Each structure stands twice: as C-alpha cells, then as structure tokens.
Structure 1
Amino acid sequence: MELLEKFKGLIYEISSKELNQDQKDLAIRILEKFEDKDLEYVFQFIAQRIKTGFRFDSAPESNSQTIALLEKDNNLSFVLDENKTKENTLLIGENYDALKNLLLIERERESWWAS
C-alpha cells in the first residue's frame, strides 16, 4: 500500500488548473482498483493523459442551437506521412466548436446508416 499512497500524493500535488478535485478523486479511485504490481503502469497512463490534455471538463454552452463554421488553414496544416490514410484528427487549442461540429457530423452519419 506504500506505492498507492505515493501515487495518491502525486495526484494531490497536481495543480487544480491541470486536474480538478473531482478528476483527482476519480484518478485515485482508478488506482485503488489495481494491485501494487500494476500501479506504476496505471499511474503512468493517467499522468500521460493529463499531460496531453485528455481531460473532460464542463464546457461553456453558449448556444446549443448553432454550430460554428470552421475553415481549414493550410498554412497551419501538416501531413506526417502521405502514404497513410487519414483515420484520426487531433484538435489542438480552442476546440470546443470543432468538437460540437464533429458531434453533429457523427449524428448525421448515424442517422444516414439507420435509414
């Protein structure tokens, strides 16, 4: 249990700007589900998600009846490998409007397949 307490302490030390209290509690509950031999891997997984920004906070809902029109900026775009097909897109920065648009596109795709 020493290792669990160490990782709990490290989670509590994370700035509230990085991880709010509810998220810290959730991370600790996740750690508590694992045996000591797996704790380091689980903690590294959680810590990596925090570093890369994969967090889920409440987003401001300005108007749920509208969507933002996004335009691709080719000057800021890049391709790592021309031979790979585009499977996933990582949105960096202020992406709330982009995520709302992706949700709309996904709902349209699901309704198209259902009909």
Structure 2
Amino acid sequence: MTVEEQKQIYKNKIDEIAKSSFNNEQKAIAKEIIDNASAKSLDKIYQLIIQRVRTGFVFDAAPEINHNAISIIEHNPNLSINLENSITPHTHTHTV
C-alpha cells in the first residue's frame, strides 16, 4: 500500500467520526494534518489525532458560526504581529 493510499484510508476514517465529537471544520483540519504528514510519522500522527478525539480534545480553531450576528473589525497596529520585525537573528556567544 502506498503512502497516499494510507493517507486516504485515514482521511476516510476521520470522516466517519460522529459530528457530535468532531465537526466538519475540525475534520478538515485533521485531514490537512494527515495530508502534510511524512511517510515516517503518518501512523503516529493519525493515532495522536484519534486519541485526542476519544478523550474529548477538540480543535478550538473551528467554532460554530453564529448567523444572527455581524462582526466589525478595526485594525490596531499596536496589537498587530509583524513577523518581519520580530524575528531575532540566532547568535551564539562563547566566552573563553
């Protein structure tokens, strides 16, 4: 069996998880993780995902949608993350 076939089997098993335990957005995130897993770590990553679902862990990045509300977003540069300016060069200092 190829790695791609195994990934598809795992994604199908994720689809079979009850929606009450794992909503569609959470399933999409889990399947994306499976798609990006290396052949070496695929089985371990799948087991980790399934174990977390069984113990009640959920991916909080996928909340349910409230269709009765709107959001107003205002950009605040003081609260924005600027990755270009926040990356610190990695340096080593040795004293003798």
Map 1:1-115; keep pairs closer than 5 Å: 1-55=4-58, 56=60, 58=63
After TM superposition, the score normalised by the length of structure 1 is: 0.48
Letter in 2 for 1:4: K
| Two-structure CA RMSD over aligned residues (Å) | 1.6
After TM superposition, the score normalised by the length of structure 2 is: 0.57
Partner of 1:112: none
CA distance in 2, matches of 1:45, 1:2: 19
CA distance in 2, matches of 1:3, 1:34: 11
Give 1:36 shift: 2.0
Q: Point out where structure 1 has 5 or more consecutive residues left out of the alignment.
A: 60-115
Identity of aligned residues (%): 32
Letter in 1 for 2:16: E
